[in-house]
Structure 1
């Protein structure tokens, strides 16, 4: 029997928060919100914008605004509202949420009670910075990729980039056009690593930084050193016990309080060292949408969860499999090469069609294209037949 309408707090109003609000309301709930499968980017093109396959951030914002208008979500969002804390409200499964309005004098806090919490606050906001011995007295500038915008301020400077995933790859190539030298420090590289990057006269790959010195030099694990102006941390966001939120059933529900607390959008994907063609991250918007459909269906009673004990057994089995593969804890939510398997599992749980085959093939084609054309993959591609298939599929939503 379906559950009565619940009053829900959605923490976050980005891509995950917006689609969570839509799916929760579709199931009859009343959410308050502090590229999706059925709303293609093409739906936002009528206003005239960046129609490239890899649009700029302004176009992504326009897309999210169009999505919010199309599904009448603005009325659910409390803008400029910060969630200060969330706690259990007694033993009845309800939650007390304390928030405050930003910009108000005194910033008075307000507490409200909700039936469930859906956390959609993202994991790219609070930067994570690598520990470097001696950096306190090093005279150069440190920054995080979260704050990087354009390469011009780094003209003729020596920049050290820490990291080897998507942001490090993109920013290092961006900077190589203006910086005097770019040095990439990769913690997974052997200690003896020090080599020039193919296709560049001014970019090198190193092992991790060993320490920094007062004279401006940065020393790598192989003993080589560089006098640098900037250290840029492309090291991701702040962690929860080494980037792992645990225990979570299927990366979503803590078994002890399920389904009244859930986390949308935790999975991510690293650049795989053993499979160079897999060069892209998790495709986020369809993932958010399918997770939200599942959460909304469970909260309405239409979709059933296993028992608490069964969910905990599943979590233990997952961690045992990680240990057997030799994966560190920080890779708990790293989907490596099984994101579509997870997406299709979610779709099956909530009675939604699986991810379209053209999406899966296009993902593989783009990954291979980026590996083959790292400088021009955004503007050159060979999968025109998949683009045509996607355009035909999108017609039913336009």
Structure 2
């Protein structure tokens, strides 16, 4: 028989957003559990490519209550340092994370929400969905993808530039991932970097600290009815971290316009020009991982669930955390998720008290 558990709150996802929610629920004395699909601590960071580093110093990359320690020899910590930090964070606060647990669906069940998982069923008075986006990579429907005979992979599948030694690799995407992976590949491969529009590099002295400040200023402006400052998007798309800056300044990181289609041996542009390619790496972003919420029938425009703050507008027992600015300014970042997590925990505690 499938075990059934009853608790105040179920948090779905044990990455940085889920842990931040757990921290604030714990402070408020709310009973909760975190269900994480990963086999170990660290969220999506444990699947990052080898050369990935944060674009903020450690002290500007911390969850609430515990400052990330400096990594020896690094201004910007690498992904493994983040994994270790998240594991330490869990242990320090004794967060009740169950893993690996795969949530199959969230259903309305009278006054409760029923969370069906492969390990059993949880009945909760509220649910926080914090599953992120890493498990839902997005690849655009470019003509010819099915005929290209080379290797195709997404950001999530990229490991090391050495895997592409002496190959010609096409990197698609004008954001941070595209720039960082293209720069990384230049050490071992011939690279064509294709972007929808000319890349917009932030000033070299800007890192994640300034980005967080810009997001915070935008949030304050919107809250007070002032003019929209534009936030991070007003500054540019790509943080010039040292490897990206070095490749750019060496003339190795030059963007080409996006190609029109893929042929069997590589991309073809609108004017008929073409290059031969061994691989295409799609650094084209992600979509929110929300399939577990499908039974609630809450999706709106472009697949997003309408929210008021982090609370699902049509289901006040559900909060969404860490999916992007639509669930809190900078909520998809380590330092930015703390505030919306705090607000979500407070709203949940008030809801539980009222009932």
Partner of 1:267: 324
- What corresponds to 2:103 in structure 1? 83
User: Quick one: structure 1 residues 304 and 179, their matched pair in 2 at CA, closer, same or farther if it must change by over 3 Å?
Assistant: farther
Structure 1 residues 242, 219: closer, same or farther in 2, change over 3 A?
A: farther
Other structure's SS at 2:108 match? strand
Which protein, 1 or 2, shows the higher relative CO under an 8 Å CA cutoff with sep ≥ 6?
2
Per the normalisation by structure 1, the TM-score is 0.60
Query: In the alignment, what sits opposite 2:76?
Result: 54
Match of 2:173 among 163, 184, 189: 163
Q: Is the 8 A contact 2:134 2:286 kept in 1?
A: yes
Matched, 1:126 2:144: no
User: Gaps (5+ residues) in structure 1?
Assistant: 102-109, 191-196, 270-280, 306-398
| Aligned residues of 1:6 and 1:29 also touching (Cα < 8 A) | no
Gap runs ≥5 in structure 2: 1-5, 36-61, 200-246, 291-299
Shift in CA distance, 222/204, structure 1 to aligned 2, threshold 3 Å: farther
Report the Cα distance in structure 2 between the residues aligned to 1:242 and 1:224, rounded to whole angstroms: 37
Runs of 4+ in 1 over 4 A off after TM superposition: 200-203, 239-244, 302-305
Identify the match of residue 307 of structure 2 among 240, 248, 252. Answer: 248
Alpha-carbon distance in 2 for matches of 1:300, 1:266: 22
User: What's 2:90 paired with?
Assistant: 68
Secondary structure of the residue aligned to 1:23 is helix
- Whole-angstrom CA distance in 1 between matches of 2:301 and 2:351: 35
Q: 2: distance between equivalents of 1:50 and 1:242?
A: 45
Q: Which has the larger radius of gyration?
A: 1
* Counterpart selection for 1:207 from 239, 246, 257: 257
State which of 36, 43, 56 in structure 1 corresponds to 2:63.
Answer: 36
**Alignment partners' CA distance in 2, 1:204 and 1:111:** 52
Superposition map of 1:1-398 within 5 A:
7-34=8-35, 35-42=62-69, 50=72, 52-73=74-95, 76-90=96-110, 92=111, 94-101=112-119, 110-180=120-190, 182-189=191-198, 199-200=249-250, 203-214=253-264, 216-238=265-287, 245-250=304-309, 252-258=310-316, 260-267=317-324, 284-301=333-350
Q: Superposition RMSD on alpha carbons, in Å? A: 2.8
- How many residues align? The count is 263
Question: Offset at 1:286?
Answer: 2.9
For the residues of structure 1 that align with 2:178 and 2:301, how far apart are their CA atoms? 20
Alignment CA distance shift 1:224-1:31 (3 Å): same
User: Cα offset for 1:201?
Assistant: 5.4
Q: TM-score, normalised by structure 2?
A: 0.67
- Listed one character per residue, the Cα deviations across residues 258-302 of structure 1 (whole Å, up to 9, x for unaligned) are 2x1011112259xxxxxxxxxxx7772232221111111112229
1:86, 1:95 within 8 Å by CA — same for their partners in 2? yes
Q: Separation in 1 of the partners of 2:85 and 2:340?
A: 20
